[in-house]
């Protein structure tokens, strides 16, 4: 299954609790689109949040994020790793 890294850019001041809550919202409905959210990271200063997932396609990732209330600004398929 393809792997994706998505980026949210407008979350300045995000707290660990808010990140956990957003991630849990994704996890609660991820199976409806065949997505497996693996991890989320945040930089509260820049407002960037990064989510790693496995999914059939980028649209599936976006659908879950939108339904959970935090659409991604960018979604990148990871095709090369080291």
79 — pLDDT class (breaks 50, 70, 90): very high
Report pLDDT for 46: 97
Place of tokens 């199976």: 31
Q: Identify the bridge partners of residue 13 per DSSP, sorted by sequence position.
A: none
Model pLDDT for residues 24-53, shown as the tens digit of each residue: 999 999 999 999 999 999 999 999 999 999
User: What are the chain's domains?
Assistant: 3-78 (3.30.70.3090)
- Best CA proximity match to 54, nearest among 67, 38, 76: 38
Q: How many residues does the chain have?
A: 82
**Do the bridges between strand 3-8 and strand 36-43 make them parallel or antiparallel, or are there none, so unpaired?**
unpaired
Model pLDDT for residues 1-10, shown as the tens digit of each residue: 999 999 999 9
17 — pLDDT class (breaks 50, 70, 90): very high
Beta strand spans in the chain (E): 3-8, 36-43, 48-54, 74-78
Place of tokens 């095709």: 79
Sequence-ordered list of residues with C-beta below 8 angstroms from that of 58, at least 6 positions apart, any chain: 4, 75, 77
Report pLDDT for 61: 98
> How far apart are the C-alpha atoms of 33 and 36, rounded to whole Å?
9
Report pLDDT for 30: 98
Report pLDDT for 6: 98
């Amino acid at each position: 299954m393809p792997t994706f890294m998505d980026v949210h850019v407008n979350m300045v001041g995000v707290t660990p609790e808010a990140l956990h809550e957003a991630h849990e919202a994704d996890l609660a409905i991820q199976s409806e689109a065949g997505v497996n959210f693996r991890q989320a990271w945040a930089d509260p200063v820049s407002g960037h949040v990064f989510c790693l997932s496995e999914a059939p396609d980028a649209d599936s990732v976006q659908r879950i994020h939108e339904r959970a209330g935090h659409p991604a600004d960018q979604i990148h398929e990871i095709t090369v790793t080291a």
